[in-house]
């Protein structure tokens, strides 16, 4: 068993670490009970921007785990925080490809969200958006992609909540937001600015909330190119579990490595318990 040490806070990914789709992974409840018992602070930080904080709280409650909204950080929340720091919400119009988890944080910061262009009429589109934000969207349509493309071609800034090309679900691995970004980039010739992992922005925001020194903070994730690389870029240690996208074989071809590799959160739980004995 890997030896853990000097851990006071965790930044924990969710998809592929805590669950597959709506199916909790074994040991989920015991994992969180152990964190509470050991007084290890945590932020659940996911690149998936589809759900709101409260929706994630409810999802975990259905799985037998109680967390507060303040313990949830999504790339949608991180995007809203980032844009509020760099733009004037009262003067900025945003078109969003995404679900409630991408839209609600922007509205809470005071941004105006624009509608779809009416592409099936002879009317001109009207006032466009200053920024296009693209996150995971299970109701993605041609009209949404067209509206985003037209706005970006007209000069709107192009922001991606995250660039995950795939997403682990209870049915297997399917396409992630990165696939949507690739379509828009192909259509416009413009590369998006990425807010989520592996960029350090979201990790830095989570660390600010945790108020724990970086040397006592560890990121847990399942994906080398986002969770682990993001930790490396942020300058914190990382732990990769093998229940999601990346495999032990992937480690052989990677220029960067996690600090620890474990099979699943059950193994993490046992290592955390051993840390105090």
Note if 15 is an active site residue: yes
Give, as one character, the DSSP assignment of residue 222. S
User: Has 100 been labeled as part of a binding site?
Assistant: no
Convert 4-32 to b/e letters by CB count within 10 Å (16 or more is b): beebebbbbbbbbbbbbeeebbebbeebb
Q: How far apart (Å, rounded) are the C-alpha atoms in residues 183 and 9?
A: 37
Note if 137 is an active site residue: no
The 3-state DSSP class for residue 167 equals strand
User: Has 255 been labeled as part of a binding site?
Assistant: no
Catalytic residue selected from 15, 130, 137, 164: 15
User: Has 227 been labeled as part of a binding site?
Assistant: no
Q: Are 257 and 20 in contact (CB under 8 A)?
A: no
Q: Which of 89, 79, 25 is nearest to 49 (CA)?
A: 79
Q: Which of 134, 116, 128 is nearest to 184 (CA)?
A: 134
Q: Which residues contribute to the annotated binding site?
A: 13, 15, 197, 222
Q: Which residues contribute to the annotated binding site for Mg(2+)?
A: 13, 15, 222
Residues annotated as part of the active site: 13, 15
Q: Which residues contribute to the annotated binding site for substrate?
A: 197
């Amino acid at each position: 068993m890997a030896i853990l040490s000097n851990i006071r806070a965790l930044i924990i990914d969710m998809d592929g670490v805590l669950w597959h789709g709506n199916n909790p992974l074994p040991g989920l409840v015991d994992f969180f009970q152990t964190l509470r018992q050991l007084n290890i602070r945590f932020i659940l930080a996911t690149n998936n921007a589809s759900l709101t904080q409260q929706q994630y709280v409810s999802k975990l409650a259905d799985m037998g785990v109680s967390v507060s909204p303040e313990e949830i950080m999504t790339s949608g929340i991180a995007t809203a925080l980032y844009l509020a720091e760099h733009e004037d919400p009262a003067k900025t119009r945003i078109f969003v490809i995404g679900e409630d988890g991408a839209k609600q944080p922007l509205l809470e910061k005071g941004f105006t969200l624009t509608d779809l262009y009416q592409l099936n009429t002879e009317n001109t589109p009207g006032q466009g958006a200053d920024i296009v934000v693209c996150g995971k969207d299970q109701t993605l349509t041609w009209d949404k992609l067209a509206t985003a493309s037209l706005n970006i071609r007209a000069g709107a800034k192009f922001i991606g909540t995250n660039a995950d090309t795939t997403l682990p679900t209870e049915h297997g691995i399917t396409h992630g937001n990165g696939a949507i970004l690739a379509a828009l980039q192909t259509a416009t010739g413009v590369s998006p600015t990425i807010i989520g992992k592996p960029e350090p922005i979201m990790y830095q925001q989570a660390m600010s909330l945790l108020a724990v020194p970086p040397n006592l903070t560890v990121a847990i994730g399942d994906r080398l190119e986002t969770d682990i690389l993001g930790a490396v870029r942020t300058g914190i240690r990382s732990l990769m579990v093998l229940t999601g996208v990346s495999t032990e074989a992937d480690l052989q071809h990677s220029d960067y490595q996690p600090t620890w590799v474990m099979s699943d959160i059950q193994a993490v739980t046992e290592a955390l318990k051993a840390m105090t004995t």
